[in-house]
Structure 1
């Protein structure tokens, strides 16, 4: 995202996740606000991913999508720090920071598909 307010909000969300974990009230409000910046910038993929993300958090009181990995996840290997709900959500939010990176777009599409099929 190129909007400076959106970048500041992304940084705030990441900092809050580090500090407080998934505090649903504040987090959902911030994600909804970030989504308005994506709407203004007309980035449909980000708009959709953010909507699916806050709806998922509202429904589950957490973020239950494991962090994306280049390696297939071994059965029973979901307990590492990289796949914690906070780390996965931080990764998803950080992808939005640089939409010029093609692998970030690919990962956002993967998150969209995972959230849709959850």
Structure 2
């Protein structure tokens, strides 16, 4: 996503995650706002992933999808320290550069994991 306002919102979300972790009060609103940007930019994958993400956080009070790592052209979820925050930060960071095919593949994997949860 190349819009400066969108990039500032992504940076704000990442900074808030670093400072306060998954604070559902502000995070869900920020994710909904970011989703609006994705709707305006007509990026259906990002729209879907963001909706699934904030619905998942609303239901669970946390981000329960594990971090992704790639192993020989396949993705595998792994356990890491402070996993919910790190996994969510990774997901949000993927949205910054949608020209990277790996980022698109990872977003699709997150979509599938969120749907399956």
TM-score by length of 2: 0.93
Aligned to 2:35: 35
Q: Provide the C-alpha distance between the structure 1 equivalents of 2:111 and 2:10, rounded to a whole number of angstroms.
A: 18
Structure 2: tracts of 5 or more residues without a match? none
Superposed counterparts of 1:32-111, under 5 Å = 32-71=32-71, 72=76, 78=79, 80-81=80-81, 84-111=83-110
Q: Provide the C-alpha distance between the structure 2 equivalents of 1:58 and 1:101, rounded to a whole number of angstroms.
A: 29
Coordinate RMSD, CA, aligned? 1.2
Aligned to 2:5: 5
TM-score by length of 1: 0.92
Q: Provide the C-alpha distance between the structure 2 equivalents of 1:31 and 1:106, rounded to a whole number of angstroms.
A: 20
Runs of 4+ in 1 over 2 A off after TM superposition: none
Structure 1: tracts of 5 or more residues without a match? none
**CA drift at 1:17:** 0.1
Aligned to 2:26: 26
Aligned to 2:113: 114
